């Protein structure tokens, strides 16, 4: 007999694949069972079949907006009490009120911090009993290493003769990734290590701008050159 595990089922509906992927990953990392679709009509069909505990629905979608999705879900007897969160870049009070009138329990404005999303989901599901999901393996939560176990920069660069690659990844603008990369490169150069700072943003490099340098030869410019002209461009 299959073991039955209790977990919350969440349906995410958003026509932007990147947003949908991030939402699904964040929720699954916190133990939720997530079904995702980029189609509003398919999302309604999925909701009717899977009977999720909570539905996350985008407001602005091409085939059907989130307000209409809310109304249709609320019209189904089996989903009359399902928790619904609308999330949209539209932040006007009238649109939020329209979301609540359509049946949403909460309204999030994009962009939303991952922990704010988790907090809202947790709050709405506080008094909901999760349904049994047969044959489902427990979700693996990602845990950060305690600070005491993280390697120090000095240990990483103990061998000056060895080449070392350090990557600084910024998941959103304004998080300080460029400043961190510049300061790290400057510190390494100051410690007499041969250092090359490379900005891998193909769309719009920022390092040259921060350093008040001419950025004509950034990767975004070099990527447009024919192969035979790359050497001259570099």
The pLDDT assigned to 3 comes to: 42
CA–CA dist 223, 217 (Å, integer): 10
Cβ(200)–Cβ(167) below 8 Å: no
pLDDT per residue over 87-125, tens digit each?
888 778 888 898 899 999 999 988 788 899 999 999 999
Cα dihedral: 171, 177, 178, 182 (round 10): -150
Residue pair 67/13 in contact by the 8 Å Cβ criterion: no
Please give the domain boundaries of the chain with CATH numbers for all domains. Answer: 4-134 (3.40.50.2300), 147-233 (no CATH)
Q: What is the pLDDT of residue 198?
A: 79
Query: If you search the block for the tokens 């390494």, which residue do you land on?
Result: 188
Give tens-digit pLDDT for 12-42: 999 888 889 999 999 999 989 999 999 999 9
CA distance 79 to 164: 55
Q: Give the model's pLDDT for residue 38.
A: 92
- Give residue 171's pLDDT: 52
Give the chain's residues under pLDDT 50.
1-5, 134-139, 141
């Amino acid at each position: 007999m299959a073991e039955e595990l209790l977990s919350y089922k969440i349906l995410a509906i958003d026509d932007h694949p990147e947003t949908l992927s991030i939402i699904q990953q964040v929720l699954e990392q916190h133990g939720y069972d997530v079904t995702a679709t980029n189609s509003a009509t398919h999302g309604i069909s999925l909701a009717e079949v899977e009977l999720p505990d909570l539905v996350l629905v985008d407001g602005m979608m091409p085939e059907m907006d989130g307000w209409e999705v809310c109304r249709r879900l609320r019209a189904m007897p089996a989903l009359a009490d399902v928790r619904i969160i609308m999330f949209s870049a539209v932040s006007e009070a009238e649109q939020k009120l329209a979301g609540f009138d359509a049946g949403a329990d909460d309204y999030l404005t994009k962009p939303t911090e991952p922990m704010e999303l988790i907090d809202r989901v947790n709050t709405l599901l506080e008094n909901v009993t999760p349904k049994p999901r047969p044959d489902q393996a427990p979700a693996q939560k990602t845990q950060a290493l305690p600070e005491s176990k993280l390697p120090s920069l000095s240990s990483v660069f103990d061998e000056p003769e060895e080449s070392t690659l350090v990557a600084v990844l910024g998941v959103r603008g304004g998080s300080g990734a460029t400043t961190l990369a510049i300061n790290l490169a400057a510190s390494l150069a100051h410690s007499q290590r041969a250092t090359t700072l490379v900005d891998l943003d193909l769309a719009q490099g920022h390092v040259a701008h921060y350093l008040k340098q001419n950025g004509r030869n950034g990767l975004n410019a070099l990527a447009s050159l024919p192969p035979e002209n790359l050497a001259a461009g570099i």
